[in-house]
Amino acid sequence: MATISHIAKSSGLSRTTVAEVLRNKPGYSEQTRAKVLKFAQQLNYRPNYLSKALAGGRSMTIGLLVSSIDTPNEVETMRAIETSARDEGWLTFLLGWEEDLDETLCSHVDGLVSRRVDGIVLYRTRPLPTNARKRLDNCGVPVVYLGWVPDDALHLVRDERNTAIHQLAEHLASLGHRRVAYVHSYFDTLYPDRRLRHFQHAMAANDIELEVSERWYLPRGIEHELASYQIASKASLTNGPTAILAHNDRSARGIMTALHERGVRVPHDIAVVGFGDSPQALAGRPGLTTIRQPNTELGQEVFKLLHQLIEQPELATRRKQVVIHCELIVRGSTSPDHVDETA
């Protein structure tokens, strides 16, 4: 592998000159820069970032610790982080673990730090245990939290969904809906503050009864689209809800398929709402009314914040919170006026 010394010997320039030109340090003529880059290309020179990191410089790598990549929305966010990093010349180490194996998370943190990453992103969908939090707080590199954010985290990026949820409730109320069923999961039961209570408060504020019952519960271990299809296939709709709020867009599509097979028209007989605005939202007809999560924007802001913390260490003790709002997207699954537009 070619080194700076090889380039210096071949070009007849000093090692210091070559090193500073490759770091894009000012003060050198265009002729000198062109000469250095010419020999660097001829010798197939590649920067040794690990050596630089060991010497106290940048490794140009970040660690991405992810507890879940189960949905298209999560994939989109992770892709945005990686793409943003790559566009700036950084590499990303992605490591995953099971939610209940938090010692594995601690081990991953240690492994990333030992490989001299310049920063870490933690994406998690459940509260962070004390031991893992302490390990991250004392790992020696900047950490940006995404997803389930500790309330006292210094550096975090999150979405704000309450506004869009209230807009959804107002939309349903304006269409005359007064009883809505929520197809929910164990996640809603364990952590109601993440979504369920937002729905309950918003519906109540608009005089809508939100049914959260066993018959609309998604069993664990079954894919959401299939489980929702099974629920909607056998649910009694007589004197039942006039709208169904699905756990996510996959769940909504399963519901709509079952209703179609039963001869129930969406939205004329019953309205359906998703969550996420994933590709499934436009995969069938009518188009799905849903709450759009700003997945790409979240990923971009995560890397932007982490990069800023790496480049400006003096910001390490200053709290920085980036909040991006979710958006209500109205389509034909709730509004008859939108059916032709999405057909």
Q: What is the pLDDT of residue 100?
A: 58
What the chain holds in terms of domains, given with CATH numbers, is: 4-46 (1.10.260.40), 61-158+295-311 (3.40.50.2300), 162-292+329-342 (3.40.50.2300)
45-62 in b/e burial notation, b at 16+ Cβ within 10 A?
beeebeeebeeeeebbbb
Q: What is the pLDDT, as a whole number, of residue 49?
A: 52
Contact 342, 331 (CB under 8 A): yes
* pLDDT at residue number 343: 42
Per-block average pLDDT, block size 10, for the chain (343 residues)? 81 87 84 88 71 58 83 84 91 76 81 88 82 87 86 88 96 95 90 89 96 92 92 89 94 94 94 90 87 94 95 87 94 77 46
Residue-wise DSSP of 213-238: -GGGB--TTS-HHHHHHHHHHH---T
pLDDT of residue 53: 47
- Please report the pLDDT score of residue 249 as a whole number: 92
Residue-level pLDDT at 342? 47
pTM of the complete model: 0.78
Q: Is there a contact between 77 and 144 (Cβ–Cβ < 8 Å)?
A: no
